[in-house]
Amino acid sequence: MGTGVGVGDKPPPPMTASDWRPVVSNTLRGFFSLCLPPWDIAVPEFSLHQNGDRRWVGMPGRAQIDANGQHRIDPQTGKRAYTPVLVIRDREKRERFQRAALAAVDQLLEGGP
C-alpha cells in the first residue's frame, strides 16, 4: 500500500508555490499560495516564517471577529486572533508537509520552474 496519493506505485507530484508577496514583520517573511496535486487545488495565504536558522510554513487562517465586527485581539498575547482553515492532525504528516512546502517556496524564490 502506498503512502501518498499517486498513481500505482508512483508518488504524487510535488506541490508548487506561487504568488509570493514579501511582508517582513517579526518572524514573518511573506505569503504565498500552494498548489496541491493531484487535485490541482490552489490554496492561498500560506506564510513563511524564519527565526535564526529555523524556518517554517504557517497554515492559512481566518480572522476571528468579535461581537462588534472587529478583529478579535487575544487578551493573553495582545495579538490579532486567527482560526486555522487547514489542519494536518498527524505529526509525521505535518512534518512531511512542512518539508515539502519549504522546498516548494524555496524553488519559487530561487526562480525555479
pTM of the model: 0.81
The 10s digit of each residue's pLDDT in 52-68 is 999 999 999 999 999 99
The 10s digit of each residue's pLDDT in 10-29 is 666 689 999 999 999 999 99
The answer to whether residue 102 scores a pLDDT higher than 90 is yes
The domains of the chain, with CATH numbers, are: 16-109 (3.30.1120)
Looking at every residue in the chain, the average pLDDT score rounds to 90
The answer to whether residue 4 scores a pLDDT higher than 60 is no
Q: If phi over 0 gives left and psi between -120 and 50 gives alpha, with beta otherwise, what is residue 94?
A: alpha
